[in-house]
Amino acid sequence: MEDQNHKQEQAHLTRTLNIISQQKERLEEVDQYVGDDITEQALEDIRERTRQSLKIAEKEPYFARLDFQEDLTPQAEALYIGKVGVADESGEPLIIDWRAPIASLFYSFAGGNDLAYYESPEGLVEGYIHLKRNIVIRNRQLQRIVDAYVKGKTDLSNVDEFLLYRLSERESSKLQDIVSTIQTEQNNIIRAPKNSALIIQGVAGSGKTTIALHRLAYLIYQHQDKLRSERMIIFAPNRLFLDYIADVLPELGVGGIQQTTFNDWALEQLDEPLTLRSQHESHKEWLETGGSPTAMERLRYKGSPAFITYVHQALAHYEAEAIPDQYLELLPHKGLSSETIKQWFYTDYKHYPLSKRKERIETKMKNWVEEALKSLESGKEKQALKRKAHQKIRAYLKKHLSPTAVSFYMQLLKADQTCPPDVKAQTLEMLKSKEIYSEDLPPLTHIHHYLNGVPKEQKFHHVVIDEAQDFSPYQVDILKTITLNHSFTILGDLSQGIHEYKGIDDWSAFSERFDQSKVTTFVLEKSYRSTTEIIDCANKVLTQAYQPMCLAEPVFRSGEEVKVIACNDDNYHQSLIESIQKALEKGYTNIGILTRTEAESTTLEPIIQSAGLKCTLLSGQEDKYSGGLSLSPVYLSKGLEFEATIIANVSRDHYPSNAFHAKLLYVGCTRALHELTLMYKDVPSLLIEPII
C-alpha cells in the first residue's frame, strides 16, 4: 500500500513539476514591460508575482495533501497545499496557498468522522476529510510521505511523528518557516482577525517569533487590498536577531516589511541629529552587575507611569497656553489681537498638528500685513514696513510656536519637581550636546509626534513587537497612536524578562493601554525547540527562584540527558574544549557557548581558538548572524537557538539563587535544540541543584 501511495504521489509530482516548468518558460519568453501604459504595468505586476511564486514552487511545490469532500458533493477532491498558490492553464488551482481559507482545514483538523468546516468569503463550507497527508519534497525529489489521517482508520499517531521528524532534523543557523507543521494553537494566532491587539504569552521555544512572521504573511495575503507591506513593521531586540530571522519572510514569498529595533526607528523619526549613548554599555552594566544606583534611578524614572502622565500634561499645558494674551503690533499702531490669533490656532486650524498650525498662522499673518499695506504706494517705505512686520512675525512664532522635541524635553525636565536631581542634571548636560540614552527616546518620539503629527499615509497597518516583555508601556503607547485599528501582534515570555528595569512583569501593563474590546490574549505552553530532557531541566532551574505564569510543556521528543560537568580551575578549560569537540563529532554545526559576562567570553575566545576551533565572539553589536560555533554572554543569546548549548561556569558566585538569575539561566538552557551541557567550577549554583 505504501509503495502504491508513493508511486501515485511521484506521478502527481512529476506532472506538477512539468506544468510549473512550462509556465515558467512561457513567462520567461515575455519581455519585461517597462513603459507607461497602466494596464500593461498591472499585467506585468501579475506576471512578476507569478514568476516569483513559480520560483518558490519549482523546488518544493507543496508539502501536504488533503482529500476533502464538500458536503452534498459526490466525491472527495485531492487538494495539494504549498507555500504559494499555482493555477494550471485552465485557471484551476494546482497548488493551494497555505494561507487560503480552505487550507486552514489542514491545520485545524485533528481527526474524526465529524463534519469539518472552514470559513470562506462566501460563508461556512462544511464537508468530510478523507485524507491528511504530509509530503516532503526536497529539490524536486519526493522524499517522504506520512499519513496523519486516513478516513476509517482510527490510529492518528502519525500526526506527531511528522512534527517530531521535522523538529529533530533542524540544523540551520537561521530561523525557518514552519508551514508544513503549524500546530492548531499557532494557527489560531496566525489567522486571528486583523483589527485587534493580540498579546501572546508563550514559553521559550513555543514558536512566537515564527508565528509572528507567518501571521504577517497571512495578513498580507488575506487583506491584499487594505494592507501594504511597507506599512507593516517588526520590532525586534537587536540587529543580530533581525538577521537571524531574515530568511523566513522571503521564503514565504513576502517582501518589503520593515524590520527594525525601537531605537533605530525612533531615531529616524526625530528630525534632529542625536547620538545614542552606547546602549551596549548600559545594558552590560545592568545585566552583569545589577546596574549603578544612578543608572537604575534614571531607567526607572523615565519609564514610570508618573513620567508618562507628566509628559502628556506638559504637552497639553503647552498647547493650552501657546498663544499669549498679548496684542501683536505688526505695523505702526496696527496689529493683531490675541483673540484673532487664538481663533486661528484653537478653532480654524484645530485639526492640524501644532507645527502645521504654525505654518498656517504665519501665512495668515503675512496676508494680513499685505492687506494692511495695500493702500500704500509700492516703494522703499512700504518695503521697509513689510520687512519689519515679517521680522516681528518670525520673532513671535519663534518665541511661542517653535519648540523642537529636544528643546521641549529640556524645558519639561527643568520644570519637573519629582525628577531625581542627578538624573535631571545628567540628562540636561547630555542633551546640550545632543546626546541621549535609549530611555529618552520614548518621551522624545512622543513629543515629536505631538508637535508634528503623523500623516495617515505614514501610519502603520500592522505592528509586531517581539520579545515584548522587554518593551515599556511607554513604547507601546507611542506605537499605538500611530497604528491603524489597534492592529498589533505583541509576543513575549515573562519568564525571560531579564530587562526588568524597563520591561514589564505582567501583561496587563500593555493590555490596559488598549480598548478592552480590541484586545485578545493567547497563552502558548508547548515548547517545540528543545527535547523533553532540556525543557525539564530548564523548568527546574526557573522554579528554583521564580514563580512563572506557566511552565513550558515539551512536545514528546526525547534526547540525551542534560550533562552537568563539575570542574576546578585546573581542568575547566580542558573540559570545555572536550565538550565542544564532542558536540562537533556528533555532527552539530551550530553550537553556542554561553558565559555569564562579556569579559568571560573574551577570555575564553583565545583558549578555544588555540585548540584549533574556529569560534565567533558575539558582543551584541553585530549586524549579521552566521551560526557555527558562537561564544557570547548568556543574555545576548535571547531569541537565538543552537543544536548544542554549553553553559560555562554555572557556579554559585556566577548565578546566585534569585529570580533574575533563574530567568537568565532559563534563557540559556532553552536555547538548546538537542543537547545541553552545564559546567561549573568548584561549587554549583543552587539553581542547578535539582538536576545534579
Ligand X SMILES: Nc1ncnc2c1ncn2[C@@H]1O[C@H](COP(=O)(O)OP(=O)(O)OP(=O)(O)O)[C@@H](O)[C@H]1O
Tell me the C-alpha distance between 195 and 148, whole Å: 34
For residues 143 and 127, is the Cβ–Cβ distance under 8 A? no
Q: How far is the CB of 212 from ligand X (least distance, A)?
A: 8
Cα–Cα distance measured from residue 644 to residue 627, given in angstroms and rounded to the nearest whole number: 12
Q: How far apart are CA 265 and CA 270, in angstroms?
A: 9
* 675 near ligand X, judged by CB under 6 A: no
The cell numbers describing 271, all together, are 528630525
Residue 203 is assigned to a ligand binding site: yes
Distance of alpha carbon 355 from alpha carbon 166, whole angstroms? 55
Q: How far apart are CA 68 and CA 554, in angstroms?
A: 32
Which residue lies nearer to ligand X by CB, 16 or 187?
187
Least distance to ligand X from the beta carbon of 528, Å? 4
Q: How far is the CB of 677 from ligand X (least distance, A)?
A: 19
Q: How far is CA 663 from CA 249, 529, 635, in A?
A: 30, 17, 10
Rounded Cα distance between 220 and 344, Å, is 42
Q: How far is CA 166 from CA 18, 551, 610, in A?
A: 27, 23, 36
Residue linked to cell 482529500? 67
How would you classify residue 628: left for phi > 0, otherwise alpha for psi between -120 and 50, otherwise beta? left
Q: What angle do CA 71, 76, 79 make, to 5 degrees?
A: 110
Q: Which is nearer to ligand X, 526 or 652 (CB)?
A: 526
Q: Rule CB under 6 A: is residue 205 a binding residue for ligand X? A: yes
**How many residues sit close enough to ligand X to count as binding (CB under 6 A)?**
26
E strand segments, 36-122:
64-70, 77-82, 86-87, 93-97, 116-120
Site track 175-204 with ligand X (rule: CB under 6 A), x = hit: xx-x--xxx--x---------------x-x
CB-wise, 103 or 328, nearer to ligand X? 103
**Nearest by Cα to 222 from 126, 101, 80, 83:** 101
Q: Considering the rule CB under 6 A, would residue 643 count as an interface residue with ligand X?
A: no
Q: Residue 202 CB, nearest distance to ligand X (Å)?
A: 5
Closest to ligand X by CB, 13 or 524: 524
CB of 226 to ligand X, least distance (A): 27
Q: How far apart are CA 345 and CA 357, in angstroms?
A: 6
Q: Which residue has the closest beta carbon to ligand X? A: 207
Region near ligand X per CB under 6 A, out of 206-214, 400-408, 428-436, 675-683: 206-214
Q: Is 587 annotated as a binding residue?
A: no
Nearest CB to ligand X, comparing residues 241 and 301: 241
Shortest distance, CB of residue 162 to ligand X, whole angstroms?
A: 9
Toward ligand X, which CB reaches closer, 328 or 662? 662
528 binds ligand X, rule: CB under 6 A: yes
User: What distance in Å separates the CA atoms of residue 501 and residue 238, rounded to the nearest whole number?
Assistant: 18
Q: Is 540:690 a contact under the CB 8 Å cutoff?
A: yes
**Smallest Cα–Cα separation from 684: which of 661, 654, 664?**
654
Q: Mask: binding to ligand X, 240-279, rule CB under 6 A, as x and -?
A: ----------------------------------------
**Closer Cβ to ligand X, 204 or 341, answer by number:** 204
In this complex, which beta carbon is closest to ligand X, that of residue 183 or of residue 445?
183
Instruction: Record the cell numbers describing residue 510, joined without a space.
Output: 500593555
Q: Which of 158, 196, 201, 209 binds ligand X (CB under 6 A)?
A: 209
Q: State yes or no: 208 annotated in a binding site.
A: yes
In the complex, the smallest distance separating the C-beta of residue 6 from ligand X, rounded to whole angstroms, is 24
Q: Which of positions 279-298 make contact with ligand X (CB under 6 A)? A: none
**Residue 85 marked ligand-binding:** no
Contact 565, 681 (CB under 8 A): no
Q: Has 194 been labeled as part of a binding site?
A: no
| Contact positions with ligand X (CB under 6 A) in 12-31 | none
Residue 668 labeled ligand binder: no
CB of 84 to ligand X, least distance (A): 19
Residue 346: name the closest of 321, 369, 366 by CA.
321
Site for ligand X in 491-510 (CB under 6 A): 493, 496
**What type of residue sits at position 408?**
F
The amino acid at 395: A
- Cα distance between residue 312 and residue 450, in whole Å: 9
Window 465 to 494, contacts with ligand X (CB under 6 A): 493
**What is the residue-wise DSSP string for 108-136?**
H--S-SSPEEEEETTEEEEEEEEEEEEEE
CB of 156 to ligand X, least distance (A): 17
| Alpha carbons 250 and 654: distance in angstroms, whole number | 41
**Using rule CB under 6 A, residue 210 touches ligand X:** yes
Stretch that binds ligand X, among 205-213, 257-265, 311-319, 573-581 (CB under 6 A): 205-213
Q: Which is nearer to ligand X, 67 or 493 (CB)?
A: 493
165 in helix, strand or coil? helix
Confirm or deny that 209 is annotated as ligand binding.
yes
CB of 671 to ligand X, least distance (A): 7
Q: Is 207 annotated as a binding residue?
A: yes
> Within 153-172, which residues bind ligand X (CB under 6 A)?
163, 166-167, 170
Residues in contact with ligand X by CB under 6 A are: 163, 166-167, 170, 175-176, 178, 181-183, 186, 202, 204-210, 493, 496, 528-529, 639, 641, 670
In the annotated binding site for ATP, the residues are 202-209
In the annotated binding site, the residues are 202-209
